[in-house]
Amino acid sequence: AQYAAFGLLLARTDADVPKHKGLTMFIVPMDAEGVTVRPLRQISGEAHFNEVFFDDVRLPAGSEVGPVDGGWGVAMTTLMFERVAIGLGGEGFGWRADRFATALIEDEAGTQDPEVRHRFGAIAAEFLALRFLGYRTLTTLQQGRVPGPEAALAKVTTIRAAIAAGELICDVLGPEALADDRFGELVSDMPGLKSAGGTEEILRSMVGERVLGLPPEPRLDKGVPFSELRARERAEVAT
């Protein structure tokens, strides 16, 4: 957000319908009056996430993206694109995996350890699975179809495999691995990406419900107008 010229804002425009309806997506100039951006510095020193505050921000007519009160569909499209992009980035993370593999091979003591070999094989299998899942996703896109909720698995697997790779390389090479540009960023940046494109917990729930057919999480707010939910909250606070 600290570098972007424009942002997307999902705002409620109708409170008398259930919470996933009555939302509209807007384009917001990040230099508009009332927009405040506060970068959140991570352990790596970078700021890949930000707090963004909107105080009495006014937007001109025509700032909407998609239909008025139909912003949830727009939001899901952008999130799915992000999840697929990160998931297909499994091959992109492969450059780190290649360096990771080279370092392990160069460390002869590490490659002789059965536990290291086992962990290395499991991580390599995950990256290989991501490659073929990426092929399936690309085929879906080429056919003009939208990837389904199973695409979320690519994002979850990519980040978990990358984190496991960083942990293994540090276990084998020791603390000095963190001083190596090849691996320091891998260890410090990957955990934060668990939140990108939707948290891992949300994505796992989505895959469990929509792909595996597991019972959905209990939802007392399903089908209830948003304004009624707010009234319930105020009543609970009052009591």
Active site residue ranges: 82
Structure tokens at 223: 């089908």
What is the bridge-based pairing of β-strands 49-54 and 35-40? antiparallel
Structure tokens at 65: 């993206």
Q: With CA atoms as reference, report the closest residue to 183 among 104, 74, 69, 129.
A: 104
Instruction: Please state, as a whole number, how many other Cβ atoms lie within 10 Å of the Cβ of residue 64.
Output: 18
CA end-to-end distance (rounded Å), the chain: 39
Structure tokens at 166: 């960083």
Spatial separation of the C-alpha atoms in residues 154 and 226, rounded to whole Å: 33
- The helix/strand/coil state of 135 is helix
Structure tokens at 29: 């100039």
Structure tokens at 19: 């919470």
